[in-house]
Amino acid sequence: MAHAALLHPARPSTSAAAARRRCGRSSYRAAPPVLPRRSRRRLPRPMALSTTAAQGPAPAPPGLKEGIAGLYDESSGVWESIWGDHMHHGFYESGEAASMADHRRAQIRMIEEALAFAAVPDDPEKKPKTVVDVGCGIGGSSRYLAKKYGAQCKGITLSPVQAERGNALAAAQGLSDQVSLQVADALEQPFPDGQFDLVWSMESGEHMPDKSKFVSELARVAAPGGTIIIVTWCHRNLEPSETSLKPDELNLLKRICDAYYLPDWCSPSDYVSIAKSLSLEDIKTADWSENVAPFWPAVIKSALTWKGITSLLTSGWKTIRGAMVMPLMIQGYKKGLIKFTIITSRKPGAA
């Protein structure tokens, strides 16, 4: 698979065009820290993004979606066997120490904190009745939200293995009439306009080739008055005097991208600019980097268990290389370079 290069982002701007120029290409859901076996197909290295005003984001390289699907086809089972069906960070009290027993509860808390931040109502009359989980993995959030709200939930992923496994889990939990996962592209969602009361994206936005198209699709499928929740990895906002991240920051991110097959990220301010350009309302954002700090140390610890070591050794060099790069995620958070960000908004209601 391609090793994606980190590029120099442009200066922050409130315009959607500027946001599109800065935002990078990527895969679709953040690769779990345990990476797959050696891929059978190598993808071309993504082209550099232009920082000129005339150009928007460059197209994703041919075969990228197929490569992403293969990544998750091979890695999701390993992740599930160690960490369960929630393929995302946990939410912790800032500075707290957490035992391994706490981490799955923290992943559930991440969902609840996101819902609370977005002020999603629990009231029977106002709670969401239809939900889409964009970049659903094996459907952990889909099933949780369906049970919490009694909602109909559709999930989309590029991985046929994830969709099949998620549907099997839904059936095992008696949720087949509420939860349905399918293979689909988040940038071309197979749903009509205005279908969902809650549009949910948990750690998938960082991997979208075109951030503006990504948010535009989230807004398109949201019902009038519907809530949009994006929880994603970002790089820090640039200072007014900066036109790029610093060379050492770019190098750190590139090393992470090379190991996890991630192209460029964008900043929280880029997402806000895009949301404003789409006339979304009640736009809120928060930096939860301190609240996810225990997660990567825990992943490293789990990789050093007998089960984790066995998985690494049987999955090949790419998995081992991914494990070796895990400390760089911790370093990125400590430097303030990587920002674990939530962005929420609401689609304007019907006239």
The per-residue pLDDT for range 286-297, each reduced to its tens digit, is 999 999 988 877
The pLDDT value recorded for residue 11 is 35
The pLDDT value recorded for residue 97 is 66
Q: What six digits make up the tokens of 218? A: 């989230």
Give the 3-state secondary structure of residue 348.
Answer: coil
The pLDDT value recorded for residue 280 is 98
Task: Break the chain into its structural domains and give their ranges.
Answer: 64-347
Bridge partners (DSSP) listed for residue 203: none
The pLDDT value recorded for residue 309 is 57
The per-residue pLDDT for range 153-195, each reduced to its tens digit, is 999 999 999 999 999 999 999 999 999 999 999 999 999 999 9
The pLDDT value recorded for residue 327 is 84
The pLDDT value recorded for residue 297 is 78
Q: Are 151 and 129 in contact (CB under 8 A)?
A: yes
The per-residue pLDDT for range 34-49, each reduced to its tens digit, is 433 333 333 333 323 3
Higher model confidence: residue 8 or residue 203? 203
pTM, 2 dp = 0.80
Query: In sequence order, what DSSP letters do the residues of 163-226 get, joined into one string?
Result: HHHHHHHHHHTT-TTTEEEEE--TTS-SS-TT-EEEEEEES-GGG-S-HHHHHHHHHHHEEEEE
For residues 197-215, average pLDDT = 91
Query: Which residues are within 8 A (CB) of 274 and not within 5 positions of it... i.e. 6 or more apart?
Result: 16, 19, 20, 211, 212, 215, 216
Bridge partners (DSSP) listed for residue 182: 156
The pLDDT value recorded for residue 30 is 43
The pLDDT value recorded for residue 317 is 46
Bridge partners (DSSP) listed for residue 231: 202, 342
The per-residue pLDDT for range 129-149, each reduced to its tens digit, is 999 999 999 999 999 999 999
Residue 328 has pLDDT above 60, yes or no: yes
The Cα–Cα gap between 286 and 231 comes to 10
Q: Does domain 64-347 bear CATH number 3.40.50.150?
A: yes
